[in-house]
Amino acid sequence: MDEATLAQLLDPTVLTLLDGIGYSPSQELALATRLREDGMSPELARELLAQAQLRQEAEAKFGSFAERMLFTRDGLAQATRLSVAAHHARRLLAAEPGTIGDLGCGLGGDSMAIAGLGGTVRAVDADPVTAALAAYNLRSLDTVTVEQGLAEEQDLSALDVLWLDPARRTGDGRTSAARRLTDPESFSPTLTWAFSTAAHVEGVGIKLGPALDHALIPDGWEAQWVSESGDVVEVALFHGSVRQRPGRNALVLGAGSALQIHESQLPEDDEERIGELGTYLFEPDGAIVRSGLVTALCEPLGMRRVSEKIAYLTGDTLPTGSAANAVRAYEIAEVLPAGIKQLRRALVERGIGRVVIKKRGADIVPDQVRRQLKLPDGEAATLVFTRLGEDHVVLLTQPVDLSVPAEV
């Protein structure tokens, strides 16, 4: 969306028309034709349909709020889920700041949560279209101001706490294809600049991608990897008044529950019986894996690793309560041969015709293996290609629903 199309989109008459569009892919051509027959330019007609589609897609992140918001596709992809934004807001507001600077505010998800919980926010984004969309999305919140500008040019003395979301893609997301950046000094603002703000404000939170190299975390900062409903969404770095505890931790958010694990819970020694297969295979939540805290689960949950360097666990007891959010569980039926011909024969003999293939520590391409197996119709199962100790194995498993108590 360019600025000229944005200006047309923000016309109250056009916005009212957008609210009345019931979008469905099968009706897109008919809707576009009708809009153009009514005198609308092709560019604006395309944008209206795009907005109607994006509103539907945004419900997963913003719920009913999406019905009255405007988006760009890249902006929606990078936007914080409202449930996670509420977590950010509670952390920042616990410091009782006067004004929070949301620098790199994007479409306004975090500012929405902060203001919705009673905070005062100054939201800034470098991209003029994104800033205008944020202003529209936050129009009903009187404790938020939105402006276009660079984070590095803001007067930090007027802010008590900062929430920074550095741009980690090339392009503007509107006129060119975006590419994910991996060098922190190519972020906008750079990670070095983001860290430097700690000297000028009471507290700083920085949202980054979960693949962040642990070596980049400064001493004394808190690094929190967050997953929500099984998806790893970020690592957030905290300093000053918004820091809770230095070091790495993983926060696993589930339906009505939360589990947090800190690096202080890591055992000093390896668990016993590594590589000895139990009744179940456990796949730790991605936030726990990314934060390097897998072995913190072993003692409290009675688990052990299948191999020293593999992030799969095994054991004989299913976790309950909030601990069930920490892992996905699979009941192990048996160990099968790893060769394609022998594996196919074993699966056909057992009536298995549909497989989900998972891997860790195995040099395979799941889709390629599935094609090579050429299984006839049959029952479903999950195959896990991994290592047991130093040996490559294939585990025949069935998923276990940890939300339902196991039968005794």
Do β-strands 352-359 and 379-388 pair in parallel, antiparallel, or remain unpaired?
A: parallel
Q: Is the pLDDT of residue 11 over 50?
A: yes
Q: Is the pLDDT of residue 216 over 70?
A: yes
Report the interhelical angle of 366-373 vs 340-349 (nearest 10°): 60
Q: Is the pLDDT of residue 169 over 90?
A: no
pLDDT at residue 408, as a whole number: 41
Considering the domain 76-244 in this protein, what is its CATH number? 3.40.50.150
pLDDT at residue 35, as a whole number: 85
Q: Give the mean model confidence (pLDDT) for residues 302-329.
A: 94
Q: Predicted confidence band at 22 (pLDDT cuts at 50, 70, 90)?
A: confident
- Dihedral (CA of 94, 98, 103, 108) sign: positive
37 or 389: whose pLDDT is higher?
A: 389
Q: Predicted confidence band at 32 (pLDDT cuts at 50, 70, 90)?
A: confident
Q: Give the mean model confidence (pLDDT) for residues 123-142.
A: 97
Domain parsing of the chain, residue ranges: 3-69, 76-244, 280-400
Q: Give the mean model confidence (pLDDT) for residues 165-185.
A: 66
Q: Mean pLDDT for the chain? A: 92
Is the pTM of the predicted complex or chain greater than 0.95? no
Give the separation between CA 124 and CA 204, rounded to whole angstroms.
Answer: 15
Q: Give the mean model confidence (pLDDT) for residues 87-102.
A: 97
